[in-house]
Amino acid sequence: MSRTEALNSLHMLAAHVDEGRLWQRHLDMASIGATPLGGVHRLPFSKEDAESRRLFLSWASARGFAAEMDDFGNIFVRRDGTERNLAPVVSGSHSDTQPNGGRFDGIFGVLAAFEALEAIDDAGIATRRPIEAVIWTAEEADAQFGVGCLGSQAYADPSKLPSLMEIRNGQNIPVKQALAQLMADHQHLGSRPFKSPIAYYVEAHIEQGPELEAQDKAIGIVTAIQGHRSFKVQVMGEAGHAGATPERLRKDALVAAMQIFSGLRKVFHDPDDVVRFTVGEMDVVPNAMAVIPGSATFTIDFRHPDPDILQSLGDRIAVVARENAGPCDVTVSELRHSSPVVFKGSVPETILKAVESLGYSFMALPSGAGHDARYIAEIAPAGMIFIPCWRGISHNEAESATLQDMVAGTRVLAKTLVELANL
């Protein structure tokens, strides 16, 4: 193919992204674990999870794409490059969901990657590097196992494997056992070693936040995945009769929790609105109308893209809690601490060029949520493409994105993958 022909093919690539095919596959995936309210319940390692992976592999097989699996069940579907020994460009996400989750989170990135492979194929474009579509195992494992992104963590850092395998869910089943069941389905696949080189990694995903919709942008070029710290704050007071105990003798744990929360809101207030500070859980004991709360426990979810602010502001929580606890005792424990990851260089730059050439409206923004790209970025240049989702709602059956936005995101992805595969 001459350079002119190649440019023409690339120009036509967007047209080869097939709206009807993409939507049909979206519907086929959404039917696996479909809930009555229009969501999807497809827990990691479940039979629905296995079924979504079989469906993905059936598409690959119909198209003649080879498939490989690593020892954590991560599945790679490959369109070869002209230089087969080069490290591939990889794109994808996960096919599992939160309990009663949505039908876009994760699976959109898998569908977009596979559609991109087919569109590139249909456009007759040859790339130097192979391009692969991946399903990472158990991204949504946090709800059952307390930790997420298990597959991408294992791939990027196999030294974590022994500890990941031993994590247990509420039924005391270790990851090892759940994973063995899931992988038993796919013993025929080629074997992929952990940490096999990846030239570039691109993940498409719904934003899971309201910024793109609020700014009326079609595409988000992700600048970073925020750092994330979470904390448990336990306030111990003293239960007592609501009618009989005077204020001066009370140790009301909920009053203290409220004052701590209020003090923290002041400290975490950010005029630039970059800080993400959330108290999502509040549990009062005994939680009875006529009894002064004896204890109140709440969680803090704190995220920031700047590692210094993540450290310094997060470290103030325990201090502010003690200052505002009044007559109660308070203990603060940290549940999670993950550093920010910045996406820069070739991947976001190539996404930007693709968006501009296709003429979509766009903005740069950090990701509020964590993603497999967080871990793959440790071993390869990485980046992400966001599309808008309705009102920013995610991890919820009401999660929704338009086909138009899905197509736009897939076109940007396809073009980005071709460019990266020829770098």
- Among residues 368, 363, 364, 360, the alpha carbon closest in space to that of 394 is found at 368
Nearer to a copy of itself, 234 or 350 (CB): 234
Smallest gap from residue 133 Cβ to a copy of itself (A): 25
CB-nearer residue toward a copy of itself: 158 or 240: 240
Residues that bind a copy of itself (CB under 8 A): 207-211, 214, 226, 228, 230, 238-249, 252, 254-255, 258, 261-262, 265, 270, 273, 275-284, 287-293, 296, 299, 301, 303, 335, 367-370, 391-396
Q: Give me the least distance between CB of 306 and a copy of itself, in Å please.
A: 15
CB of 88 to a copy of itself, least distance (A): 30
Residue with smaller CB distance to a copy of itself, 74 or 230 = 230
CB of 137 to a copy of itself, least distance (A): 21
Least distance to a copy of itself, CB of residue 267, Å: 14
Question: 71 or 323: whose CB is closer to a copy of itself?
Answer: 323
Q: How far is the CB of 210 from a copy of itself (least distance, A)?
A: 5
**8 A C-beta contact, residue 292 and residue 239:** yes
Question: Least distance from C-beta 406 to a copy of itself, angstroms?
Answer: 18
- CB nearer to a copy of itself: pick between 64 and 246: 246
Least Å from the CB of residue 309 to a copy of itself:
15
Q: Report the candidate in 238, 229, 231 with the shortest Cα–Cα distance to residue 318.
A: 231
Cβ nearer to a copy of itself, comparing 75 with 219: 219
Q: Which is nearer to a copy of itself, 216 or 273 (by Cβ)?
A: 273
Q: Give me 111's structure tokens.
A: 């569908």
Nearest residue (CB) to a copy of itself, 32 versus 222 = 222
| Cα–Cα separations (whole angstroms), residue 232 to 28, 226, 326, 331 | 40, 20, 18, 8
* CB of 10 or CB of 296, closer to a copy of itself: 296
| Cα angle: 58, vertex 63, 64; to 5 degrees | 95
Nearest residue (CB) to a copy of itself, 87 versus 393: 393
Residue type, 217: K
The answer to whether the Cα torsion of 237, 243, 244, 248 is positive or negative is positive
Whether the CB-CB separation of 69 and 183 falls below 8 Å is answered with yes
Cis peptide before 286 (omega within 30 of 0): yes
Q: How far apart are the two ends of the chain, measured CA to CA in Å?
A: 17
Crossing angle for the helix pair 403-421 and 107-122, nearest 10 degrees?
60
Please, what is the minimum distance in Å from the beta carbon of residue 31 to a copy of itself? 25
Q: Please report how close the Cβ of residue 85 comes to a copy of itself at its closest, in angstroms.
A: 39
Half-sphere CA count of 110, side-chain side, radius 13 A: 31
Residue with Cβ nearer a copy of itself (162 or 243): 243
Q: How far is the CB of 83 from a copy of itself (least distance, A)?
A: 39
Q: Which residues contact 221 (CB under 8 A, 6 or more apart)?
A: 348, 351, 352, 355, 362, 363, 364, 365, 383, 385, 386
User: Which residues does residue 134 pair with via DSSP β-bridges, in sequence order?
Assistant: 76, 92
What is the C-alpha to C-alpha distance for residues 290 and 271, in angstroms, rounded to an integer?
40
